[in-house]
Structures are given as C-alpha cells and as structure tokens.
Amino acid sequence: MHLSDQEFKLISELMHDKFGINLSEQKRSLVVERLQKVMRSGDFKNFRDYYDYVINEPSGQALSDMVDRISTNYTYFFREKDHFDFLVSTALPQLIARAKSQNRPGLKIWCAGCSSGEEPYTLAIILSEFLGAEISQMDVGILATDISETALQKAKNAIYTDAQLSQVPVSYRQRYFAAVDNNNWTVKPILKKLVLLRRLNLMRPEFPFKGKFDIIFCRNVIIYFDLPTQQGLIERFHRYLQPGGYLFTGHSESIDRSRALYKYIKPAVYQK
C-alpha cells in the first residue's frame, strides 16, 4: 500500500508528539511494513483514513496499538553485560551499604522501556544473587515500565524459549526458571515478585512516583528520540534519582549535554 509524503508526515508527527519517537525518512518502509496488516484488517482505504481513525478514536486504544506496531521491542537477557558486572562489583555494594547506614534497608530500581521483560528479570536475577537470603529482609523492588501493551503482556506471561535464554548462565536457568515443555521456560515466582510491570509513557512531563530510585535503567530507548526529547527525559530522570543514584543508558546512547547533572562513571553509566 502506498504511503504519501503527507501521510508519512502526519504519522511521524503523531509518533513524535505523543511518544517522542523520531521517524526519519529511512523509517518510511518500516512504517508501511508494520502498519499494513492493521490497514487491511480494518478495511481502511489509505493511510490517511487509518490516521483519522486513530486520532479520533476516543479510548486511545487505536493510538496505543499504532505505537505498539511502530516501536522496536528488540531485547534479550543479559544484554550489554558490562552493566550487570558493574552493578555487582560497584553500584550494589555501594548503594546497599549506604541504604543500611541510613537505616532504610531497601533498593529501588526503575527499568524504563523494559520491553518484554528480559531486562527487568535479568536485574532481578542479579539482585537475588547479590543479596542472597538477605533479600527477604530488605525492601527491594524493580518497577518495569513500557509503552507497548504487547511487550508488557509478554513480560507478564514471562515465558521464554530456549533460544531466548541462551545468554542466561545454566546455573541461573536452573535456579530461576521452570520448564514449561521441551522448548519453553517460565520465570519462577521468586523473580516475578521482585518485578512490578506498568504501562507508562516516558513523554509524561511528570512521573507518578512518590519516592526516588537508587538506579534507573533506560537502555536502547532514547536512541529512537530526537535530541531535545532525549535531553528532556534525561533531565526528568535526574529528579527521580536519589543523590548518588545511577543512570544506565544503552552503550550506543550518550547524554553529553546533561553531563552537568550527572558524573560520568564509564561508558553508558552516570551518577547523580
């Protein structure tokens, strides 16, 4: 189906204004490919018709479905493993010692743009391994948020194939996953209970949290945003981090212009 210049502009502007997602000219064929199915099933004559339907549909479900199709949800367990090594060697010992000294034995992590759950469940494994039996006496939790309902549903189902678990060390697989059948594994309740999944648009000017986080993971998300949108989000994250808290971005993302707010620790790791 043909996507005219005008139609592409309308859809790009909508994705940018509502979700920060920046669809450059190179993404044009991706837009056609990802929206084709819904266009056919909904019997729309052209992209303009579909666009009009999306912006006028009162529940917001059609808009939610559109971003779901357009956003890239690619992720895997132990992605950019450096970060998990850094957590174990440096960030967790520091933050937990500090929490204990302040008499608030807890640790709050926000995984922003968590996709289908591989990242927050990796964090839950790391926390469980690091804290051992102590975890039950501490107030630890991972809030995992995303805009995509499909991705969040996968995270809630928490069933992954053998291939999806290929990066998970065998000992962790035995401890934290249970076989469903020959090819599928489910995340055990001891991990699941550490992860709270919620739908949240990172474009909100304010986030609905009372407390602050010790760690924010927002990896491979801002890469889809333009510079001012990235900048605004990195600044907003700062308000929701404890002093001394850490921000992790994807290794191909940099936050140069916000360096005044954060101390650069190592590639893709910053400290408030």
Ligand X SMILES: C[S@@+](CC[C@H](N)C(=O)[O-])C[C@H]1O[C@@H](n2cnc3c(N)ncnc32)[C@H](O)[C@@H]1O
Q: Which of 95, 96, 151, 268 binds ligand X (CB under 6 A)?
A: 151
Site map (CB under 6 A) of ligand X, residues 98-137, x = contact: ---------------x-x---x------------------
Residue 114 contacts residue 220 (beta carbons within 8 Å) = no
Q: Does 79 bind ligand X (CB under 6 A)?
A: yes
Q: Rounded to whole angstroms, how far apart are CA atoms 224 and 51?
A: 21
Residue 183 contacts residue 161 (beta carbons within 8 Å) = yes
Nearest distance in Å: CB 69, ligand X: 10
Beta bridge partners of 141: 108
Q: Which is nearer to ligand X, 245 or 250 (CB)?
A: 250
Locate all alpha helices (DSSP H) within the chain, ordered by sequence.
5-19, 28-41, 47-56, 61-70, 82-86, 92-101, 118-131, 149-157, 170-176, 189-192, 227-239
Q: How many CA atoms lie within 13 A of 76 on its CB side?
A: 11
DSSP code for 246? E
Q: Which residue is nearest to ligand X (CB)?
A: 75
Site map (CB under 6 A) of ligand X, residues 206-245, x = contact: -------------xxx--x---------------------
- First vs last Cα of the chain: how many Å apart? 48
Q: Does 254 bind ligand X (CB under 6 A)?
A: no
Retrieve residue 195's tokens.
């992860």
The strand pair at 213-218 and 159-161 is best described as unpaired
Q: Does 147 bind ligand X (CB under 6 A)?
A: yes
Q: Which is nearer to ligand X, 172 or 248 (CB)?
A: 248
Nearest distance in Å: CB 246, ligand X: 15
Q: Which stretch binds ligand X (CB under 6 A): 23-31, 47-55, 130-138, 145-153?
A: 145-153
Q: Does 75 bind ligand X (CB under 6 A)?
A: yes
Count of residues touching ligand X (by CB under 6 A): 24
Beta bridge partners of 111: 144, 217
Q: Which stretch binds ligand X (CB under 6 A): 27-35, 58-66, 174-182, 201-209?
A: 201-209
The strand pair at 184-187 and 177-179 is best described as antiparallel
Nearest distance in Å: CB 166, ligand X: 15
The strand pair at 269-271 and 263-266 is best described as antiparallel
Q: Does 64 bind ligand X (CB under 6 A)?
A: no
Q: How many CA atoms lie within 13 A of 28 on its CB side?
A: 11
Nearest distance in Å: CB 204, ligand X: 8
Q: Which stretch binds ligand X (CB under 6 A): 3-11, 55-63, 140-148, 161-169?
A: 140-148
Retrieve residue 123's tokens.
């964090």
Nearest distance in Å: CB 176, ligand X: 18
Q: Does 73 bind ligand X (CB under 6 A)?
A: yes
DSSP code for 91? I
User: Residues interacting with ligand X, by CB under 6 A?
Assistant: 19-21, 71-75, 79, 113, 115, 119, 146-148, 151, 201-203, 219-221, 224, 250
